[in-house]
Amino acid sequence: MLLHLQDVTKTYPASESPVLRGISLDLAAGEMLALTGESGSGKSTLLHLIGGLDSASSGVVAVNGVDLTPLDDAGRAALRRGTVGVIFQQFNLIPSLTVAANIAFQARLSGRHDPAFAQELARRLGLIDHLTRYPEQLSGGQQQRVAIARTLAARPSLVLADEPTGNLDEATADSVFTLMCDLVRDSGAALVLVTHSARLAARLDRRLHLSGGLLS
């Protein structure tokens, strides 16, 4: 299994009740999973644990056979550089870098920068004519395409997407979502998608619902 969660819990210091109450989940390489649930149900928290952006209170979070639980911040950051890619709703592009430099950024950090591959991603995502522009010069849909290209350029084994089309209108969201899924499939990576959209969730291999800190 590329991703293995066993009895994962998460309780924040300021809260008496856990956000996650014992999550167990396996995800194979190449599989695409949609994670749905109401706002505040813990979807983003779970994604952050898988991505090493936060640590579990208890349980096992293993990616590609590596248990994240005992890792320090540097160890989790190394895992994100080499194995896990994250696509955020807010794009998180670097405003001082061009589109081309933003796409290359994560791949350079991981030592996997391939100019030809980055160019191909830009072409497939409709960015080839925008490589010298800066994020502020792009539409929301174009910025999200750059964020997708940046993540995939590093060739992660596992892609985590947190409401990646949540800031886009429906038509643009559908287009960006289709491109993202096609590119993830072509790369052989697995995908965990957090979404409020039952329509988008239905397009993936599997769907799980998070409620009351439990998966169903």
pLDDT(136) > 90: yes
- Domains: count for the chain: 1
CA dihedral 69→73→76→77, nearest 10 degrees, is 170
Task: Give the model's pLDDT for residue 86.
Answer: 94
- Confirm if 82 and 76 have CB atoms less than 8 A apart: no
pLDDT(40) > 90: no
Task: Give the model's pLDDT for residue 14.
Answer: 85
Task: Give the model's pLDDT for residue 20.
Answer: 97
Arithmetic mean of pLDDT over the chain: 94
Task: Give the model's pLDDT for residue 16.
Answer: 82
CA separation for the pair 143, 24 (Å, rounded)? 34
Per the structure, the complete domain to which residue 35 belongs is given by 3-215
Task: Give the model's pLDDT for residue 15.
Answer: 84
CA separation for the pair 76, 68 (Å, rounded)? 7
pLDDT: is 89 or 133 the higher one? 133
Q: Is 146 helix (H, G, I), strand (E, B) or coil?
A: helix
- Confirm if 112 and 154 have CB atoms less than 8 A apart: yes
The rounded percent of the chain whose pLDDT value lies above 90 is 84
Section 10-35 average pLDDT: 95
Closest CA to 184 of 43, 87, 53: 87
Axis-axis angle for helices 170-187, 115-124 (nearest 10) = 150
State the pTM of this model. Answer: 0.94
Section 187-216 average pLDDT: 95
CATH number at 152 reads: 3.40.50.300
CA separation for the pair 48, 54 (Å, rounded)? 6
